[in-house]
Amino acid sequence: MDRILDRLEDDLFQVICYMVTSAANLLQETRAYGPFRLIDATSRLITALENSGVKSARLEGIRTFIEQEKYTVMTDEVRFNRFLQQLVLDLVPMMDQPPPCMGSL
């Protein structure tokens, strides 16, 4: 169990470092990089959870959708904007669902 927690701490530390350096870099980067970095951090956070055994179909679906669309920010800003709006719409009904491990309570 300690190795799992150590792995989770290290993975989350990496996400924290990514977010902090992203914040600093965004002061000089183009406007579109902000949403990209947030969505990329979301994917990294889900990966950290999965690496620690916290897995669910909804998290996997979110990460998969992000990985499929996140780089469109560099080639098609309209598509990237639609992707972000669709992701928000997909998340809203999930917010009312109990986490998979609590479904039987």
Cβ contacts of 6-12, under 8 Å, gap ≥ 24: 7/51, 7/52, 8/48, 8/49, 8/51, 8/52, 11/47, 11/48, 11/51, 11/52, 12/45, 12/48
Number of domains in the chain: 1
pLDDT mean for each 10 residues of the chain (105 residues): 85 93 90 93 94 90 97 96 96 84 47
CA–CA separation, 100 and 73 (whole Å)? 32
Total-model pTM: 0.84
**Whole-angstrom distance, CA of residue 88 vs CA of residue 105:** 27
Domain contains 99 = no
| Domain around 15 | 2-94
